[in-house]
Every structure is written in structure tokens, then in C-alpha cells.
Amino acid sequence: ETGVTQSPTHLIKTRGQQVTLRCSSQSGHNTVSWYQQALGQGPQFIFQYYREEENGRGNFPPRFSGLQFPNYSSELNVNALELDDSALYLCASSLAGPGSNQPQHFGDGTRLSIL
């Protein structure tokens, strides 16, 4: 039990649609990161938020965007969905800000399927 919860657990969308995924971080954790995990692969870093601002981004296009709220919950938004966006989306939270080496703790993810 990591204390990181994600919703929904599963979601089906069609190409071109938009989706919002949600994450509630472990209490007191002020850094949240989002990862995309394609089937059979390791998670890939999308971006990180610290104190409600984006702090680092992986190799993902601008149609992937996020928000972090004062209560440490966060959202991942994806516009203009493509078939390749089908994946497990993982949220991870950690204590302390960028530059720290505190380990990240993951939620169970949202399985997104694009038809």
C-alpha cells in the first residue's frame, strides 16, 4: 500500500478524443511524476510537477499536459488521442523537491485503451 491512488482504473477512448487521468499523492509528498508504460516495457517518464509547476519533461509531445493542485493531487491530460497512446499510465509521488534522491512510490495506474 503506497498511499498513491489513481482513477479511473480502466478507460476506453477513441482516436481524436481527449482524456483526463487523476492521481492522489501520498500525504506530504510534494513532487508527482507521470509515466507511460507500454505493454511489455518499462515505464517512460512523461513529466514531473513540484509545487504546482512543471519541473522536467520527457520526450512526449505538448498534447500531454498536467496539473498539480495545492492538496498534492494531480491530473494528466492527453489531447487528440492516438492509437499508440494505449498504455498503462502511472503516477508516482515522492517527498522533497527536485534534486533530492528520495525514491518514488507508484499508484496502480490507469489502463487506457484507444480504439
- Closest by CA position to 66, among listed 109, 19, 26: 19
Q: Does 104 bind another protein (CB under 8 A)?
A: yes
Distance CA 95, CA 56 (A): 16
Q: Does 99 bind another protein (CB under 8 A)?
A: yes
With respect to another protein, which residue has the nearer C-beta, 9 or 17? 9
> Which of 107, 113, 114, 115 touches another protein (CB under 8 A)?
107
Binding-residue pattern over the window 41 to 80 for another protein, x denoting contact by CB under 8 A: xxxxx--x-x----xx-xx---------------------
Distance CA 73, CA 28 (A): 11
Q: Does 109 bind another protein (CB under 8 A)?
A: yes
φ/ψ of 83, rounded to 5, equals -55, -40
- Asked if the bond preceding 98 is cis, omega within 30° of 0, the reply is no
Q: Does 27 bind another protein (CB under 8 A)?
A: no
Reading across the β-sheet that carries 5-7, which strands appear in turn? 5-7, 19-24, 73-78, 64-68
Residues that bind another protein (CB under 8 A): 2, 4, 6, 31, 33, 35, 41-45, 48, 50, 55-56, 58-59, 90, 92, 94, 98-109
